[in-house]
A and B are shown apart, each in its own frame.
Chain A
């Protein structure tokens, strides 16, 4: 596998996953909005901070209205993390490696981008937009199915999956962090938030049903956090993603090189010491810092080799 191709596959996975989770995040936020009776303004500044966009977003221009902020997160092509930008990036990355992917996968991703581009634009009603976001999530599932079921689970597949899992941990943690934002919208400042807020997070992640079946009917903040951080079986739980990351990296050449940063992540998924919003928020921050380190190690190990000077490369022992 060419280093360049591996990198493009990895970013295809990351951007597709980011697009899906952005759709989930926006859906969850607008859900909260409705539950607040539409009166309470959503804390967009917080949401943008969670998305890591507080440095970039023209917050003043967005005002405190919902519409402009939602459009910024979904359809604004100048926003490097907007849903449409993520899909475009995923498509561009996949286009440059399309000979590595099943042709249906490319067709599906291309169709997903074109569909999003057509439907995510100004002037649509909230209902239309939410339907489009749900369609995007569904079409992304079709793409995931095509990859999983019609592509050999070879090195190319592993790089897509690495990108997906790394991004999913990152985005799941951001969606959980949304509770910090909603707590501030609420009156109660000490607790981990109300059960309605957490139920909403579970719904956003498609996790509500599985939580009820495997944890309980009561939506208890600590239990939800334990489930989304530490469950080994639910595919959007961070522990599940970390297990897959470990398994995937173990199948690539020179797995020892990534073992250190991988192991540094595991302790962050223990949640028995999380009792208040502050400790939750801190935990998520640490997790994201260490995820960044793992990304950097993957980059250095597998992608950066093409940047090395030719002489140095030629002198390396063959691997």
Chain B
């Protein structure tokens, strides 16, 4: 597989410079890839597919009736980032989550940021993820969002932007871990030099983060991972993480709350108390006593127990208030307000349709912008202006006018690319990066994260539910100064 035959794209390529030469961070990788002949490569790709099937790495697509899993689409060419650049990103991610947690705590308590005129009350009033049932709560360490998946993209000029903060039930970290396991299984020689930073401390850090939340003072708190069940698209991850951190994988019906507000699991030896719930169920399904009464996924009384401080829930109910594409636009100000620091990682410029000037601009330039609904995830409900038809744009314009609070728009970025294995050899495909950030007693960010890649030529949609795949992400140790010639 020749890197020098690669059609260098118009976008920023993560591995290859405009001249066609590999970036320094990818030099060794390209040399190793170029040394593989096509038969060797085909054999390795086949064994990747076989390993994915036998390891059972799958994800679920809701529309696939009767077929509950699909093999995880994995590209064997890794995405590289230099350690020096990553250090700055790492600091930016931690800064951002720290500020967001201060913000959530403030919104559910004093609301000083609103009183000080930095954050408009009307944005809060229009938030579908604000939960009145959480008002007045002070979770341990002041942390609401313990696990955050931050989506990063790189534009043509090389700037890395934050595209989204996922503070509800972000998923994908298991694929980050499995992608690395796959690469090590198939290309062990790539890792021989020790220049690729490891990623596998995440499960331990996740365990420490969750264990520190236990309301009961014990060295071995009982942690339960609450899943919607086997038909959820992220079930593989739920099961995988429960196994990695030694948590019980529970469904709502496995739990009950007694009259003293303690949470128990139903076990073969009778009820057993639960200290920490890592929930992968959305707020509204958590507790039919408080939220949707028809929910079969949650457990009645969970909110009672949480409010009484008898169980910890991560992420805390209501944390999603900061996971809203309109709130997103305020994050640089939020960082400034709580930390008195400039945001290390910039936001993508955003236009909020709730403000008249912004709205007029958005409606005038719909054919150039990407319009997103405030509260959707998974890439659903978006309008990609330049690729949309006139009637689609007209339909969106009507929706924006009807519910301006619900929409925001951003310029269309030319997402960075990386060489990706296709039927016609290596070709550029667009990608993003989702690192995972933990906050409890301490702050932690994964080394790299999950690189998602749009496998269709020219596509910018990286979501696995819509034809996306993924790559191993390498943070590559900087060459020692003495070796730089």
Taking Cβ atoms with an 8 Å cutoff, the residues of A that contact B are 1-6, 92, 95-99, 103, 106-107, 110-111, 114, 155, 159, 252-254, 302-303, 305-306, 310, 313-314, 316-319
Chain B residues whose C-beta falls within 8 Å of the C-beta of A92 in the assembled complex: 230
Q: Is the interface of B mostly helix, strand, loop or mixed?
A: mixed
- Report the Cα distance A109→B276, complex, angstroms: 32
What are 5 A-B contacts with C-beta separation under 8 Å? A1-B268, A96-B239, A252-B268, A310-B300, A318-B271
Q: Are A2 and B250 in contact (CB under 8 A)?
A: yes
The answer to whether the Cβ of B144 comes within 8 Å of any Cβ in the partner chain is no
Knowing A98-B239, A305-B266, A319-B270, say if A3 contacts B254 (CB, 8 Å): yes
Q: Are A2 and B248 in contact (CB under 8 A)?
A: yes
Q: Are A314 and B258 in contact (CB under 8 A)?
A: yes
Q: Are A316 and B54 in contact (CB under 8 A)?
A: no
Chain B residues whose C-beta falls within 8 Å of the C-beta of A2 in the assembled complex: 248, 250, 254, 265-268
1/0 per position for B281-314, CB-CB distance to A under 8 A?
0000000000000000000100000000000000
- Report the Cα distance A309→B212, complex, angstroms: 32
B53, B243, B264, B271: the one contacting A110 at CB < 8 Å is B53
Q: Is the interface of A mostly helix, strand, loop or mixed?
A: helix
- Report the Cα distance A283→B300, complex, angstroms: 49
- Report the Cα distance A111→B54, complex, angstroms: 6
- Report the Cα distance A303→B266, complex, angstroms: 9
Chain A residues whose C-beta falls within 8 Å of the C-beta of B229 in the assembled complex: 96
Q: Are A114 and B269 in contact (CB under 8 A)?
A: no
Q: Are B258 and A306 in contact (CB under 8 A)?
A: no
Q: Are B253 and A4 in contact (CB under 8 A)?
A: yes
Could you tell me the distance in whole angstroms from the C-beta of B58 to the nearest C-beta in chain A?
A: 9
- Report the Cα distance A159→B264, complex, angstroms: 22
Knowing A2-B248, A107-B55, say if A319 contacts B269 (CB, 8 Å): yes
- Report the Cα distance A6→B53, complex, angstroms: 26
Q: Are B54 and A107 in contact (CB under 8 A)?
A: yes
Chain B residues whose C-beta falls within 8 Å of the C-beta of A6 in the assembled complex: 268
The answer to whether the Cβ of B371 comes within 8 Å of any Cβ in the partner chain is no
A1, A99, A253, A316: the one contacting B243 at CB < 8 Å is A99
Chain B residues whose C-beta falls within 8 Å of the C-beta of A316 in the assembled complex: 270-271
Could you tell me the distance in whole angstroms from the C-beta of B298 to the nearest C-beta in chain A?
A: 13
Chain A residues whose C-beta falls within 8 Å of the C-beta of B271 in the assembled complex: 313-314, 316, 318
Give the nearest-CB partner of B241 in chain A. A99
Chain B residues whose C-beta falls within 8 Å of the C-beta of A314 in the assembled complex: 256, 258-259, 264, 271
Q: Are B254 and A4 in contact (CB under 8 A)?
A: yes
Q: Are A3 and B256 in contact (CB under 8 A)?
A: no
The answer to whether the Cβ of B249 comes within 8 Å of any Cβ in the partner chain is yes
Q: Are A306 and B266 in contact (CB under 8 A)?
A: yes
Query: Which chain B residues (414-455) contact chain A, with CB distance < 8 Å?
Result: none
Could you tell me the distance in whole angstroms from the C-beta of B273 to the nearest C-beta in chain A?
A: 10
Q: Are A313 and B268 in contact (CB under 8 A)?
A: no
The answer to whether the Cβ of B240 comes within 8 Å of any Cβ in the partner chain is yes
Q: Are A4 and B251 in contact (CB under 8 A)?
A: yes
- Report the Cα distance A159→B268, complex, angstroms: 10
Knowing A107-B54, A253-B268, A318-B271, say if A306 contacts B248 (CB, 8 Å): no
Give the nearest-CB partner of B247 in chain A. A99
Knowing A110-B53, A253-B269, A318-B271, say if A306 contacts B249 (CB, 8 Å): no
Q: Are B243 and A310 in contact (CB under 8 A)?
A: no
- Report the Cα distance A316→B270, complex, angstroms: 8
Chain B residues whose C-beta falls within 8 Å of the C-beta of A310 in the assembled complex: 256-257, 300
- Report the Cα distance A210→B410, complex, angstroms: 75
- Report the Cα distance A2→B53, complex, angstroms: 28
The answer to whether the Cβ of B173 comes within 8 Å of any Cβ in the partner chain is no
Knowing A106-B56, A110-B53, A306-B253, say if A1 contacts B240 (CB, 8 Å): no
